[in-house]
Amino acid sequence: MKSFLAVLTGLAAALVVFVVPASADPGPVTPAGVEAADGCHTWNRTLSEGTSGEDVRQLQIRVAGYPGYGGVLALDGAFGPATKAAVTRFQQAYGLAADGVAGPATFGKLYELQDDDCTPVNFTWAELNRCNGDWSGGNVSPDQARANALVSMWKLQAMRHAMGDRPIVVNGGFRSVACNNAVGGAPASRHLYGDAVDLGAGAQGFCALARQARDHGFAEILGPGYQGHDDHVHVAARSGQFWSAPSCGI
Ligand SMILES: [Zn+2]
């Protein structure tokens, strides 16, 4: 009888453990009105080709690092073939069923990959802005500069994962006009828009970073052999593609 009670107690304890949701595992997508999965964003429906809206745009931001070689994913809130392909690549990268449909498993992985402040887990607002605290004084509004930096962070998170999840060294990102002038930056530098990031060699080395960046949505890549870029790799967004790192064969 005593051991039977012990078993019952054990079962009850196991049941409690099972019922209490583990915060480390956000679990399936929650229906509308249910508590957010984290402090940043919660998806309330499965998204597939043909859907549109702000929830699609939030998804696009987080899979912007999976456009395929030389690609740039449009963050337009319309789930078309390019978004489907990006979602599929993201799913493949994390060993999920790769059907290009963003449902509970995909959202669960994205929740795991982001902090409450919306940054991907391995990058911070602070390292993307070593210029000032409020993202002011650039060529776009502070909100836009932050939004641009966030997209670059998600691209870097994808790149980091593709390179074996080793830390990527970030030397800086956003610059105000004053900060840009102080370091002799180009007058039209993407650092003024918040999306440019300067990478240190880290464990990967400059050329490996520059090569890998081509697969993760960076339209601008400058590295060794390009004037002023022998000591870092610069990745950014821009309209039209410009890649130059001659010492790396790029
Ligand atoms: Zn730069």
Please give the structure tokens belonging to residue 249: 């064969």
In this predicted model, what pLDDT tens digit does every residue of 177-225 receive, in sequence order? Answer: 999 999 999 999 999 999 999 999 999 999 999 999 999 999 999 999 9
Nearest to 38 by CA among 105, 114, 146: 114
pTM for the full model?
Answer: 0.86
The pLDDT assigned to 35 comes to: 55
DSSP string, 156-182: HHHHHHHTTS----EEE----HHHHHH
229 CA → ligand 1 middle, Å: 8
The pLDDT assigned to 38 comes to: 74
Asked if pLDDT for residue 6 goes beyond 80, the answer is no
Reported as a pLDDT band with limits 50, 70 and 90, residue 4 is very low
136 CA → ligand 1 middle, Å: 18
Alpha-carbon span 154 to 10, nearest angstrom = 43
The pLDDT assigned to 39 comes to: 80
- Is 229 in the active site? yes
Question: Is residue 102 within 8 Å of 132, Cβ to Cβ?
Answer: no
The pLDDT assigned to 36 comes to: 67
The pLDDT assigned to 8 comes to: 44
Asked if pLDDT for residue 103 goes beyond 50, the answer is yes
Query: Where do we find the tokens 């453990």?
Result: 17
In this predicted model, what pLDDT tens digit does every residue of 22-74 receive, in sequence order? Answer: 444 444 454 444 456 778 899 999 999 999 999 999 999 999 999 999 999 99
Asked if pLDDT for residue 13 goes beyond 80, the answer is no
In this predicted model, what pLDDT tens digit does every residue of 118-164 receive, in sequence order? Answer: 999 999 999 999 999 999 999 999 999 999 999 999 999 999 999 99
235 CA → ligand 1 middle, Å: 7
Helix (H, G, I), strand (E, B) or coil at 197: strand
Nearest to 70 by CA among 224, 188, 212: 212
CB atoms within 10 A of CB 1: 5
Q: Name the catalytic one among 41, 229, 232, 234.
A: 229
